[in-house]
A and B are shown apart, each in its own frame.
Chain A
Amino acid sequence: MIDKRLFALPGMRRYVIILGVLVFFQAVAIIVQARYLSIAIVGLWNLQSFKAIVGPTIIFMIAFLCRHLLTVWQNRVFFPYVEKTSGQIREKLMAKIFRLGPAEIEKRGTGNIVTMALEGIDKVQTYLMLVIIKVLDMSITPWLVLLYILFLRWEQAIFLFIIFPVIILFMIILGYAAQAKADRQYEGYQRLSNHFVDTLRGLSTLKQLGLSKRYADNVYEVSESYRKETMSTLKIALTSTFALDFFTTLSIAVVAVFLGFDLLDGKVTLLPALTILVLAPEYFMPIRNFANDYHATLNGKNALTAVLDVLNEPEMKQRDELPSFKWDNQSQLVLSHVSLTYPESKQPALKNISINIQGMKKIGIIGASGSGKSTLVNLIGGFLSPDQPDQVAINGQKLPHLNQEAWQQNFLYIPQNPYLFHATLAQNIAFYVDHATSESIRNAAERAGLTKWIKSLPAGLETMIGEGARSVSGGQAQRIALARAFLDTDRKILLFDEPTAHLDIETEAALKKDILPVFDNHLVFFATHRLHWIGEMDYVLVMDHGRLVEQGTPQELANQNGDYVKLRSEMEASDL
């Protein structure tokens, strides 16, 4: 019933004790309230005047106000703690996202992670707020009330005591029966919802095929058949709530009737009888509240599980093995027999890769799709970790992986779609460089061939770009990434991952002219399947099915007449 993980939260035990005390006083207030309301009513029943009942009425009112003030108090006491705790969890999650890095996050889906950090944590907050107080309420209030009833009249107390487990038992039995069906129904709901989104997303395809009008009826029919299915399951699923409702309400009726007979027989007087009747609904109230919020707590519980899953995800440690350094002509990167396997797959994505790179060079990485080009680039960037430690080395120092801060300070990564932040153009260009002067930003933009475009923008370099602002074409996005490289003269390594794959040939031709100068005096890794880039490289790595099948200068490889030559002939178009 109660989640043990909650007690692992720092400071939780203390708050449970404080809240327990408050709930206890609230239960006392409930009993006092019932008692004095009954006294007032019995006074009137005895035909006394209003003056006679002023005293008990005032006590009733005070108890009533205390009870509800205590509710506010409980919330006020607990909320700051919940707020702080959920805030800390959110912060931990953000830090974890940063440490996990892009490869891991992509696997989980950006949307999922963002939703988790926002709504997921909100749900956790609601969960913490609800569950502790409700559970305390359920484990203190009914029993105190019952104790008091026992003191008034033990027969009714015994009845109420026995009915409690009966209710729980029926809820469990009916709940189990309904659960399986409800789960299936939830799946059905997911399917339906997916079907609907699926249909909407494929609308242009339906339109192409001339089916879009006809599909409207299909949408309706699917939804209607889901409704019928749902209704038949709901009939069962709701019985659990019905059982709770039925037993609690009927118990009150039964208590009333038995009290009536006992009064008739003179076994009891009106005051205790009335008090019991007023208290009977209070006895059931906590469990009813708990059942009402069951779904909110379930959502919160699942959200907490999802968040804890991410927090417990293994991450690459030892990120500071490598001392700070600057890549220069003498620097050396060695991979020796490196393999890399994705966690969920059996086949390694990279097999036995060995390379030895020194100083400033231009290295092309080619291969068919699925050959492992991107995986190799991700390994070099430190976003993925090799299967075995000590297979990579920088300047002779063996490392567990390349997710080293000192290494990452040395390179820039330019993927197919460089990410542009929702910020000004200037801020985007200067993302890697603190305190860049606007002069140097302008200069870098000029060298990246952006000047003409910038002039056409309303606010020039201060124009907002990125999501929700001015959209930027693929070619210009590459130029902005290029400007980052021109601006940051400290980073001597450039990692390109198919930077031009999606560009049209004219844009690519123009871009190439501006990219080539940045290659000078840099170590360049350039993964591509556009062959014309190979002519600009000093050294080529040919990948095939995760293996490094050939490496050498373009000339050497052309002479070898092996995989490189074969790959080129497959890719090349014929003469016109």
Chain B
Amino acid sequence: MKGLRQTFAHDTWVMPYLRKYKGLLILVLFLGFMTFFSGGALMFNSGYLISEAARRPSSIIYIYVPVVLARAFGIARPSFRYVERLTSHNWVLKIVSDFRKKLYQSVEKKASAIQRSHQTGDILSILVDDIEHIENLYLRTVFPMVIGWLLYVFIVIAIGAMNWVVGILLLLLLGVIIILMPLISVTTNGVREYRQHQIQHTFYTNLTDEVLGLGDWLISGRYDDFMALQKKPIEQIAKLRRHDHYYQWWRSFFVQVMVLLSVLVLLVWSAYSFTATKSLANWVAAFALAIFPAVSPFLNISQGASEWPVYRRSIERVNQLDAGGDGHPVKQTSLSEPFKDLSIKQLSFQYPDGDRKVVDHISMTIHPGEKVALLGPSGTGKSTLLKLMVGDLTPDDGSVEINGQNILSLQDVRSSLFGILDQQPYLFDTTVMNNVRLGNTNASDDAVKDAIAAVGLKDLIESLPAQYNTEVQEAGQRFSGGERQRLSLARILLQDAPIIILDEPTVSLDPITEKKLLDKVFELLHDKTIIWVTHHLAGIAHVDQVRFLEHGNFDMQGTPQELYKQEARFRQLYDLDRGK
């Protein structure tokens, strides 16, 4: 119970939506109740019908009402069920739309424009799964449980009104099924689920590890070790699952015993209360037959409840997304005149969990049209510097200013200032035309085609059957790495921002493709300001200024020509890169 309160203490994913779509929710519950009510009523009515008929009353009039009711309930039950299923699906799908938007917005808030890879895909799939889990929470746990409780209250009150002792007995017996058993299931299963989740996680990690390292396993010839590694977690999971199954089977059996006891209570009650007159005795069959369909929704409530730990993890995870908040929002402005300079003033930054200053009092000024290359070993803070420059990170000290205005106050107009080409520019699963047009959503078809022609892809695209309407497929698979970079470059051309950031755009390309791409980039963007982070020295002749970042500072700087003449280290690296 405490855990339950904890889970929902700061919940913004479950409760608000229960409130938002209250009307539909009540309808779903009502329809669900009516489905089972009709099911019970059908048997109740039928039991009465044949008992009354067996008395062989003088006229058909005596059984006329039950005859009509039998047909009515017979049709009502499936109809209610049909409408209930439609309504509940509609309800859940409405929530899904809201969820998706909400999840998108939460992730969007934290996303950075500077990103080295799309590995986050895994985390994203987990979140997408979480949303599905919450859908199931409604469909498999919340709805059946609430409908079950409504029915429970109805049965207990209806019978309690006739005989309070029987009412209390049923309250207890059925209460065991729909309150006590689910609670026990949550506790026992919660622990087991938690263990199982942990083992499964280990198993998953181990197995992924094995499959990814398969080449090494194969060459090492360690077949037996390979197979043995999986044995333990598999056995552990099998054991847990076996216990889980046994528990479920016996639980179902126990639930049936409770049902049996309820039937017995009804029989005994009938024997003492309904055997006074013949017309009263006709109700015996009604009650005895109705009990089975009436309790049928109770049978699976425990199962739904025992899935709660899975849902709980999901709810907690998505709720964590919202935590953290925005920090201090900075008042946003825009630039009144064209880009004059970008100056970095005494900039310092250290990650909260880091042990050193990644950027340590760095200063530099970049003027329009300048081309700067940033180098340094990996992990030295080049991409951190870029994140600070565009305002995705807030510096501990110092500032980044454009025309004297702090970049943090220019976030709303950022895309009119910076164009970014990174390692793996993302192409969305739509057409070439749509992808390139993302650079400027107001661009005409001709403008898009011009941009594609400028990056040298006109012939390729026009040779495809669907031409500019060719689907790029998932993550742009339709095209090679170099082609993807060119399409993104076209996007940047349309975006037409004064400052272009190149974040190792050629890292996964071969030297020939790399050289061609760089030539193209610097040719097309000759009038732009370019800040280029690169991992080696190919194409370095394109820039005016080279800066080496190491230990949070620039430790070598100058034009490439100067550095080549003066710095032995630079010369050695450059020659190495040229293959000497």
Contacts and interface: CB of A to CB of B under 8 A. Distances in A.
Given A278-B289, A502-B508, A509-B576, A256 B49 contact: yes
Interface string A257-300: 10111011010011001100110010000000000000000000
Interface stretch (B19-27, B102-110, B148-156, B159-167): B102-110
A430 B53 CA distance: 86
Given A45-B51, A76-B249, A238-B85, A413 B219 contact: yes
Contacts of A110: 208, 211-212
A249 interface: yes
A224 B274 CA distance: 56
B285 interface: yes
Interface string A21-40: 00000000000000001001
Contact of B428 (A198, A369, A422, A506): A198
Nearest to B272: A50
A254 B46 CA distance: 10
A215 B104 contact: yes
Contacts of A206: 438
A344 to B, nearest CB: 15
A223 interface: yes
Interface stretch (B119-127, B168-176, B184-192, B357-365): B119-127
B8 interface: no
Contacts of B207: 114, 117-118
Given A207-B112, A531-B578, A573-B538, A411 B54 contact: no
A83 interface: yes
Given A216-B108, A234-B86, A507 B221 contact: no
Interface stretch (B92-100, B396-404, B461-469): B92-100
Contacts of A263: 50, 53-54, 56
Contacts of A411: 219
Contacts of B74: 249-250, 252-254
Contacts of B540: 573, 576
Contacts of B495: 209
Interface string A43-55: 0111111100100
B220 A210 contact: no
Interface string A198-215: 111111111111111101
Contact of B111 (A203, A219, A256, A409): A203
A412 interface: yes
A73 to B, nearest CB: 9
A83 B242 contact: yes
Most buried by B among A83, A415, A568: A83
A199 B124 CA distance: 10
Contact of B50 (A48, A98, A246, A270): A270
Interface in A370-400: 381, 383
Given A208-B419, A270-B51, A506 B377 contact: yes
Contacts of A223: 96-97, 100-101
Nearest to B62: A264
Nearest to A509: B576
Interface residues of B, number: 160
Interface stretch (A3-11, A87-95, A141-149, A515-523): A87-95
Contacts of B491: 209
Given A83-B242, A224-B97, A257-B67, A61 B121 contact: no
B12 interface: no
B238 A208 contact: no
Most buried by A among B100, B108, B111, B284: B100
B82 A242 contact: yes
B173 to A, nearest CB: 15
A238 B364 CA distance: 67
A249 B221 contact: no
A234 B538 CA distance: 58
Given A94-B227, A246-B78, A409 B221 contact: yes
B56 A419 contact: no
B108 A212 contact: yes
A466 interface: yes
Contact of B267 (A57, A241, A261, A266): A57
A209 B114 CA distance: 12
Given A242-B82, A249-B77, A573-B541, A208 B378 contact: no
A274 B285 contact: yes
A65 interface: yes
Nearest to A571: B511
Contact of B541 (A50, A75, A574): A574
A252 B537 contact: no
Nearest to B392: A207
A197 B124 contact: yes
B42 A573 contact: no
Contacts of A473: 378-379
Contacts of A383: 215, 218
A348 interface: no
Chain A interface, >50% SS class: helix
Most buried by B among A72, A194, A199, A201: A201
A383 B422 CA distance: 33
B271 A50 contact: yes
A562 interface: no
Given A504-B535, A573-B578, A576-B564, A201 B50 contact: no
A260 B67 contact: yes
B579 A118 contact: no
B124 A200 contact: yes
Given A249-B77, A264-B57, A270-B51, A71 B115 contact: no
Nearest to A263: B53
Nearest to B269: A50
B563 to A, nearest CB: 9
Given A203-B111, A264-B56, A504-B378, A422 B70 contact: no
Contact of A381 (B100, B213, B219, B427): B219
A466 to B, nearest CB: 7
B282 A220 contact: no
A50 B268 contact: yes
A552 interface: no
B345 interface: no
Contact of A529 (B56, B103, B213, B511): B511
A368 interface: yes
Given A204-B426, A264-B57, A216 B104 contact: yes
B292 interface: yes
A475 B93 CA distance: 48
B217 A49 contact: no
Nearest to B423: A502
B198 interface: no
A351 B85 CA distance: 60
Task: Report, nearest first, the 3 A-B pairs whose CB atoms are least far apart.
Answer: A210-B415, A531-B579, A253-B74
Interface of A: 37, 40-41, 44-50, 53, 57, 61, 64-65, 68-69, 71-72, 75-76, 79, 83, 87, 90-91, 94-95, 97-98, 101-102, 105, 110, 113-114, 117-118, 193-213, 215-217, 219-220, 223-224, 226-227, 230-231, 234-235, 238-239, 241-242, 245-246, 249-250, 252-254, 256-257, 259-261, 263-264, 266, 269-270, 273-274, 277-278, 281, 368-369, 381, 383, 405, 408-409, 411-413, 415, 419-422, 431-432, 466-468, 473-475, 502-509, 512, 529-532, 534-535, 568, 570-574, 576
8 contacts: A209-B438, A227-B97, A241-B85, A260-B52, A270-B51, A277-B289, A408-B218, A573-B538
Given A217-B101, A234-B86, 9 more contacts: A44-B284, A197-B121, A202-B426, A224-B97, A238-B82, A259-B49, A263-B50, A383-B218, A502-B508
